[in-house]
Structure 1
Amino acid sequence: MTSPRWRLILNGKSASDVELRAAVQRLRGRGVALDVRVTWEEGDAERYVAEAIADGVDTVVAAGGDGTLSEVAATLAHRAEPAQALPSLGLVPLGTANDFATAAGMPATSLEALSLIAERPARPIDLLRVTADHGPHWCANMASGGFGTQITLETDEGLKRMLGGLAYTITGLSRLGRIEPLQARLEGPDFQWEGAFIALGLGNGRQAGGGQALCPGALIDDGLLELTVVPELSGEIAPTLGRLITAGKEAALEAVAVRARLPWVRIVAEQPITLNLDGEPEISRRFQIDCVPARLRMHLPAACPLLGTP
């Protein structure tokens, strides 16, 4: 029987992770042919994925945060091959927020995460394809705009290293007095909304920005994205909602949000707006966001909350 062949693509920030090193050795001891590549600069992940495919590996493992997962997933999704012909995708969560991993119920330790890949068959998952001025881009987790995007972009890297996800909350609280609404028109099949918003989420996954659960009902295998729009608010409720959004409280969103589940959404704005695509900002006046069904295959927990089909 041929040993499974894996290629682990590790974010360079975690290259000295002792726990991961030990977990890799454990998996090799179980008969997995597991090679590691460490990213150092832009383009490394894309090159490593291409090499892995050329080498005929069975599984590509993203070891890092949401950005690393998205970069590896995007590189696979850019390929012309169908999902069945591509390596499956695994994840070892090592980032600051790990929003996708948290929502998916992924194991907390490196050994458990690698063991899950060995034990659980890969499942088809959707991805978001975002077309803008410099597109297309792919999102494994979420595209977000407004309040949450500014929190993510403004949170200091040193603060994230010290405080983890709490850093996003602190940054969000510091912005409560200067939430600036954005004006846009959103449309999709049997859906249209136009106005000023302070937060926007287009979810394949459910949360972003260190725990902001903007799309709490999103699934990654239903062929639909979940859209959440938080309109401009006034009076005392505005700072209260801002605090609750930062803390990821679903009740605050339910009270005021516009929600829809759609196969695609088009955004048109008079002035350029910024969407955060799994940590990467994209600025444009027009966005087309499509949910591409079953674009990849991923190893996920048996009771993964993001799966609609057991």
Structure 2
Amino acid sequence: MYIDKAEQPGPAVTAIDLGGTAMKGSVWDRAGRELLRRDRPTPVAAGVLAIVAAVVDLHHELVSALHEQDPELSVQALGLICPGLVDPRGGIALYSANLGWRDLPLRELVSAALAMPVSLDHDVRSAGRAEAEFGAARGVSEALYVQIGTGIAATLIIGGEVLVGSRGRTGEIGHVPARPDGEPCACGQRGCTETYASAAAIARRYRSRTREPAGLGVEIDAGIDAEVVIARAAAGDDAARQVFDEAIQALAIALAGYTMLADPELIVLGGGLSRAGALLIDPLAAELTARLTWREPPRITIGAFAADAGRRGAAQAALRLLSPAWQ
């Protein structure tokens, strides 16, 4: 993955994938090996400043754990990624419906708090780079990487390079309307793809359909997640099947539009929902094929790094802050 200088003591980096539900952190050496990891919930309800403070705290926790494990290594940079709209050049988190911020100078805030260089990028672009360079999209000239978790976003990989766009806003497939008159989305639109097909939406929509008939507002299995809904759908649960079918339809509508415009050879699925494997890929491939009546659909596969692709890409970016040779 990187030039192997692991025999020599040297700098390490932290990588933090800041999501709408959880923050996933890890420490990497300059040989590109993950040394340790720590995860914690994202304190979304506490507000933007609490989220920034939690990022700083997680970094310190990672550094402390590293010092206990290997005192020879010192952390010298952080690779930070987040969802929504991100300006990586300016270090600005422009907008995130799930995290509740606009025009936040996130790189500056975190870098000042840590007194070290910080790279900032979009979580899905970072994951797409990892898959393009080392994973499922390696060697593929045209690919679409789609990450399905709390929200849904994508990145186009063209000639092995990730497409950023004129304003760094490519890949917002989660906010492509699948049903123009559908359910309201946190972004302010209606019927967005992620309102039906994200892992959070699948769980939420299933719970809303399985309330106690007495009308007391008590939900059955309030802690249920999307993977459980998919498993129940496969086992014949009618409510789960209806919710999952609607999710597949919404996602296929968005993917069909992307396919018509960009003609990818391969669609790579990542994020937490990708752990469903064939239970997700098989019906999605069938629905996409049905919507592309006059042309062959792109192949669909699961990413090599699942929910860890973004964290791997963030570490890559942090290492490049230290030296272009460490990559």
**TM-score, length-scaled by structure 2:** 0.29
Which entry has the higher C-alpha Rg, 1 or 2? 2
- Which structure carries more helix by proportion? 2
Q: Which has the higher contact order (CA 8 A, sep 6+)?
A: 1
- Which structure carries more strand by proportion? 1
